């Protein structure tokens, strides 16, 4: 999947907005209800565009074992994964993982915000 297709898919998530990270302008963030569900490094030094997405821990383990393009973060947590966009990860799975990341973020929100998001 190329970067423009990925960005478009992120913005197709209900209520999603794109913004530059406040810490570094080299990272784009995608948020729902003010909470980040994807970090994107659009111009990496090594040329491999990666997205950082939230995931259920059990699923992270399975995905990392199956795909070279899905890797742990620096802290080796199971809740966030680096996904290399142009890799062995199928586009359909990347799209599904974007939705999954947004769902994981929304389900951790207070009930009031979850109800508002589901009602959009």
Mean pLDDT, 10 residues at a time, the chain of 120 residues: 95 94 82 94 90 94 96 83 96 97 93 86
pTM over 0.85: yes
Q: Which fold has domain 3-112?
A: 3.90.1150
DSSP string, 34-96: TEEEEEEESS-TTS--EEEEE--HHHHHHHHHH-TTEEE-TT--SSEEEEESSSSS-HHHHHH
Q: What was the pLDDT predicted at 119? A: 84
Give residue limits of the domains in the chain: 3-112
């Amino acid at each position: 999947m190329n970067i423009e297709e990925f960005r478009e898919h992120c913005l197709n998530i209900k209520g999603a907005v794109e913004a530059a990270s406040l810490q570094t302008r080299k990272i784009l963030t995608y948020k729902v209800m003010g909470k980040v569900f994807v970090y994107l490094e659009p111009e990496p030094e090594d040329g491999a565009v990666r997205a950082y997405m939230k995931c259920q821990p059990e699923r992270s383990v399975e995905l990392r074992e199956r795909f070279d393009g899905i890797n742990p973060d620096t802290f080796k947590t199971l809740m966030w994964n680096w996904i290399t966009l142009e890799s062995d990860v199928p586009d359909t799975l990347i799209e599904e993982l974007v939705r999954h990341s947004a769902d994981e973020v929304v389900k951790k929100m207070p009930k009031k915000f979850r109800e508002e998001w589901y009602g959009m």
